[in-house]
Amino acid sequence: MDKNEEKQREEEREQVVSPWEVSSSGKIDYDKLIDKFGCQRLDQSLVDRVQRLTGRPPHVFLRRGVFFAHRDLNDILDAYEKGEKFYLYTGRGPSSEALHLGHLVPFMFTKYLQDAFKVPLVIQLTDDEKCMWKNLSVEESQRLARENAKDIIACGFDVTKTFIFSDFDYVGGAFYKNMVKVAKCVTYNKVVGIFGFTGEDHIGKVSFPPVQAVPSFPSSFPHLFSGKDHLRCLIPCAIDQDPYFRMTRDVAPRIGYHKPALIESSFFPALQGETGKMSASDPNSAIYVTDSAKAIKNKINKYAFSGGQESVELHRKLGANLEVDIPVKYLSFFLEDDAELEHIKKEYGAGGMLTGEVKQRLAKVLTELVERHQVARAAVTDEMVDAFMAVRPLPNMFD
Residues ≥6 apart with Cβ < 8 Å to 95: 130, 133, 134, 136, 144, 280
Query: By rule CB under 8 A, what string of x and - marks binding of each residue 284-303 to its own copies?
Result: --------------------
Determine if 310 is a binding residue for its own copies (CB under 8 A).
no
Of the two residues 86 and 170, which places its CB atom closer to its own copies in the complex? 170
Of the two residues 79 and 183, which places its CB atom closer to its own copies in the complex? 183
Please name which of 158, 261, 176 lies closest in space to residue 221, comparing C-alpha atoms.
Answer: 176
Q: Please list every residue from 113 through 152 that binds its own copies, using CB under 8 A.
A: 128, 131-132, 135, 138
Please name which of 90, 172, 169, 94 lies closest in space to residue 130, comparing C-alpha atoms.
Answer: 94
- Which of 55, 199, 227, 395 lies at the binding interface for its own copies (CB under 8 A)? 199
Please name which of 21, 60, 149, 18 lies closest in space to residue 337, comparing C-alpha atoms.
Answer: 60
Q: C-beta of 149: minimal distance to its own copies in Å? A: 18
Give the span between the Cα atoms of 135 and 105, in whole angstroms. 26
- Which of 79, 171, 384, 387 lies at the binding interface for its own copies (CB under 8 A)? 171
- Which of 47, 79, 98, 192 lies at the binding interface for its own copies (CB under 8 A)? 192
Give the span between the Cα atoms of 68 and 30, in whole angstroms. 9
Residues ≥6 apart with Cβ < 8 Å to 165: 122, 123, 124, 125, 389, 391
Q: C-beta of 181: minimal distance to its own copies in Å? A: 7
Virtual torsion, Cα 118, 124, 125, 126, nearest 10 deg: -160
Name the helix (H) or strand (E) containing 176: helix 173-184
Determine if 191 is a binding residue for its own copies (CB under 8 A).
yes
Determine if 168 is a binding residue for its own copies (CB under 8 A).
yes
- Which of 4, 44, 45, 198 lies at the binding interface for its own copies (CB under 8 A)? 198
- Which of 140, 158, 201, 250 lies at the binding interface for its own copies (CB under 8 A)? 201
- Which of 197, 303, 305, 398 lies at the binding interface for its own copies (CB under 8 A)? 197
Give the span between the Cα atoms of 356 and 271, in whole angstroms. 15
Please name which of 243, 231, 248, 241 lies closest in space to residue 264, comparing C-alpha atoms.
Answer: 241
Give me Rg for the CA atoms of the chain.
22
Q: How many CB atoms lie within 10 A of CB 304?
A: 24
- Which of 74, 207, 284, 301 lies at the binding interface for its own copies (CB under 8 A)? 207
Determine if 356 is a binding residue for its own copies (CB under 8 A).
no
Give the span between the Cα atoms of 267 and 324, in whole angstroms. 14
Q: C-beta of 33: minimal distance to its own copies in Å? A: 25
Determine if 26 is a binding residue for its own copies (CB under 8 A).
no
Inter-residue contact 90 to 110 (CB < 8 Å): yes
Binding footprint of its own copies, residue count (CB under 8 A): 38
- Which of 41, 202, 254, 302 lies at the binding interface for its own copies (CB under 8 A)? 202
Of the two residues 85 and 134, which places its CB atom closer to its own copies in the complex? 134
Inter-residue contact 133 to 20 (CB < 8 Å): yes
- Which of 206, 318, 324, 387 lies at the binding interface for its own copies (CB under 8 A)? 206
- Which of 4, 44, 189, 311 lies at the binding interface for its own copies (CB under 8 A)? 189
Inter-residue contact 61 to 333 (CB < 8 Å): yes
Q: Applying CB under 8 A, which residues contact its own copies?
A: 128, 131-132, 135, 138, 167-173, 176-177, 180-181, 183-192, 197-204, 206-207, 209-210
